[in-house]
């Protein structure tokens, strides 16, 4: 038996695992032949063994009764971790829920290599929680405890943008001063680092890493703002009710636009309040659609439609989102200009954080020779345009956008667990 170690990228939207076997890196198929798996889980009614990834999403979207969850990474470091949630009428801690997902990745890798794996480097964002060091430390501790609970005896961490950097430097023949841009589902992380294939075997890269920054803005926030701008108005968002013409409560619409919060809307209290609001609504047709979302628990189905629309807008100026599952004949046309305007403030935060990283490195944007874009949201044309403008002197690398972090974590495992 050979000495195996692995790298795990537990992502907000998608996850992956790669094996390091004597410095040979192998991405593991984690769902049929796919090298990535949606970070989604589904507990069927009266069953306590969850389903994962696309299978979980398909079961839920097909109307199976049960509990669907996604974007679980965003729970780390928050009070929700300790609160837990109800699954089939029984309380279950999020440590156990997330542990089931991580264990599934570990089992897939062990089955692929027919031996156990005890050494792992887990990826982590630069900040799990913005501007809250104790919560950030707590999030890493929780993820470490989860990794150990599923059988990893040796657990290390690496920032996700640094891992992406390691994956890209394999093909570099000369030293490059690089900015790594990792826009994931939940966070955007940045690293300024000196890269060269001559540095791959270095055990200590401290002197090569000039700065790290990160902000809790990512693809899920793009989805949320697209939802609030283009979709939620068709469900009564910002409409009025009652004799005084007051604006309807906005919180349910915001929570309906976030993967990690939708399930908390499906309560008798919120249903009762929404039914009362429909009776007083000045836009009853649209607000009735909000009630339909709650009664039929189709919020996640809507978010799937919104995410699909976002992806289609990377190649189209207009997409038509079908909403037949809400109302016969209902659809929404979404323009790319509306999407770009919706995410403008997100991009301003991302841009500011990238420039902050360069400033902390003690250099100017002109000194960056390579920008490495990783993460699915870097496919968005406006994001690419942003970084080409900010770093006009730099080459843009877009290789292995969805797997570079995982590959880099496996490289790091080879260095840490010799």
The per-residue pLDDT for range 321-374, each reduced to its tens digit, is: 999 999 999 999 999 999 999 999 999 999 999 999 999 999 999 999 999 999
Question: pLDDT of 344-357, one tens digit each?
Answer: 999 999 999 999 99
Give yes or no for a contact between 358 and 364, defined as CB atoms under 8 angstroms apart: yes
DSSP element (H, E) containing 99:
helix 94-113
Give me the sign of the Cα torsion angle 76, 77, 80, 86. Answer: positive
Q: How many angstroms separate the CA atoms of 300 and 265, rounded? A: 11
Of 181, 235, 22, 8, residue with least CA distance to 108: 8
- Mode of pairing for the β-strands spanning 188-195 and 176-183: antiparallel
Q: Element (H or E) spanning 97, and its range?
A: helix 94-113
The answer to whether 35 and 404 are in contact (CB under 8 A) is no
Give the tokens for residue 390. Answer: 């900010």
What H or E segment, with its residue span, contains residue 223?
helix 219-226
* pLDDT per residue of the chain (418 residues) written in tens, 0 to 9: 567 999 999 999 999 999 999 888 999 999 999 999 999 999 998 888 999 999 999 998 888 888 899 989 989 999 889 888 888 888 899 999 999 999 999 999 999 999 999 999 999 999 898 889 999 999 999 999 999 999 999 999 999 999 998 888 877 888 899 999 999 998 999 999 999 888 877 778 889 999 999 999 999 999 999 999 999 999 999 999 999 999 999 999 999 999 888 988 999 999 999 999 999 999 999 999 999 999 999 999 999 999 999 999 999 999 999 999 999 999 999 999 999 999 999 999 999 999 999 999 999 999 999 999 998 899 999 999 999 999 999 999 877 777 899 999 999 998 888 7
Burial (CB count <10 Å: 0-12, 13-18, 19+), residue 33: exposed
Name every residue whose Cβ is closer than 8 Å to that of residue 374 and which is 6 or more positions away in sequence.
161, 164, 180, 181, 182, 183, 400, 401, 402, 404, 405
Q: What is the pTM of this model?
A: 0.87
Helix (H, G, I), strand (E, B) or coil at 135: helix
- Whether residue 14 contacts residue 39, with contact meaning beta carbons closer than 8 Å, is answered with yes
Structure tokens at 30: 């984690």
pLDDT tens, position by position, 221-254: 999 999 999 999 999 999 999 999 999 999 999 9
> Residue 44's pLDDT is what?
93
Q: By C-alpha distance, which of 142, 168, 171 is closest to 157?
A: 142
Residue 318 has what pLDDT? 97
Question: Please, what is the angle between helix 219-226 and helix 344-360, to 10°?
Answer: 160
In whole numbers, what is the pLDDT of the chain averaged over residues? 93
Phi, psi of 278 (to 5 degrees): -60, -40
Residue with tokens 């939708």: 262
SS3 (DSSP) at 24: strand
pLDDT of residue 1: 55
For residue 2, what pLDDT is reported?
62
Give yes or no for a contact between 10 and 187, defined as CB atoms under 8 angstroms apart.
no
């Amino acid at each position: 038996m050979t000495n195996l170690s692995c790298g795990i990228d537990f992502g907000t939207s998608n996850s992956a695992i790669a094996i390091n076997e004597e410095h040979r890196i192998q991405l593991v198929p984690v769902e049929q032949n796919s090298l990535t798996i949606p970070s989604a889980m589904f507990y069927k009614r009266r069953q306590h063994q969850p389903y994962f990834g696309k299978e979980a999403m398909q079961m839920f979207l097909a109307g199976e009764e049960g509990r669907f969850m996604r974007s679980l990474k965003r729970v780390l470091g928050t009070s929700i971790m300790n609160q837990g949630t109800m699954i089939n009428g029984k309380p279950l801690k999020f440590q156990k829920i997330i542990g089931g997902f991580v264990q599934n990745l570990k089992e897939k890798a062990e089955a692929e290599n027919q031996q156990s794996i005890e050494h792992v480097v887990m990826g982590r964002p630069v900040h799990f929680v913005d501007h809250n060091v104790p919560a950030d430390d707590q999030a890493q501790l929780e993820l470490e405890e989860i990794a150990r609970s599923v059988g990893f005896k040796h657990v290390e961490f690496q920032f996700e943008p640094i891992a992406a950097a390691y994956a890209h430097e394999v093909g570099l023949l000369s030293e490059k001063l690089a900015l790594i841009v990792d826009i994931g589902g939940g966070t955007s992380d940045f690293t300024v680092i000196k890269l060269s294939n001559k540095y791959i075997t270095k055990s200590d890269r401290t002197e090569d890493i000039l700065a790290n920054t990160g902000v809790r803005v990512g693809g899920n926030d793009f989805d949320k703002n697209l939802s609030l701008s283009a979709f939620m108005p068709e469900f009564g968002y910002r409409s009025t009710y009652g004799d005084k013409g007051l604006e309807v409560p906005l919180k349910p619409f915001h929570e309906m636009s976030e993967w990690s919060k939708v399930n908390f809307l499906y309560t008798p209290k919120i249903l009762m309040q929404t039914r009362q609001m429909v009776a007083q609504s000045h836009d009853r047709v649209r607000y009735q659609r909000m009630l339909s979302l709650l009664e039929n628990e189709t919020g996640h189905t809507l978010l799937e439609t919104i995410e699909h629309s976002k992806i289609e807008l990377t190649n189209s100026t207009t997409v038509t989102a079908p909403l037949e599952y809400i109302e016969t004949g209902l659809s929404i046309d979404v323009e790319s200009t509306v999407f770009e305007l919706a995410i403008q403030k997100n991009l301003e935060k991302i841009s500011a954080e990238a420039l902050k990283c360069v400033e902390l490195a003690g250099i100017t944007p002109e000194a960056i020779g390579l920008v490495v874009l990783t993460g699915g949201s870097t496919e968005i044309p406006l994001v690419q345009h942003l970084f080409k403008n900010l770093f006009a002197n730099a080459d843009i690398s877009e290789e292995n956008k969805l797997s570079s972090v995982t590959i880099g974590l496996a490289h790091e495992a080879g260095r840490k667990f010799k």
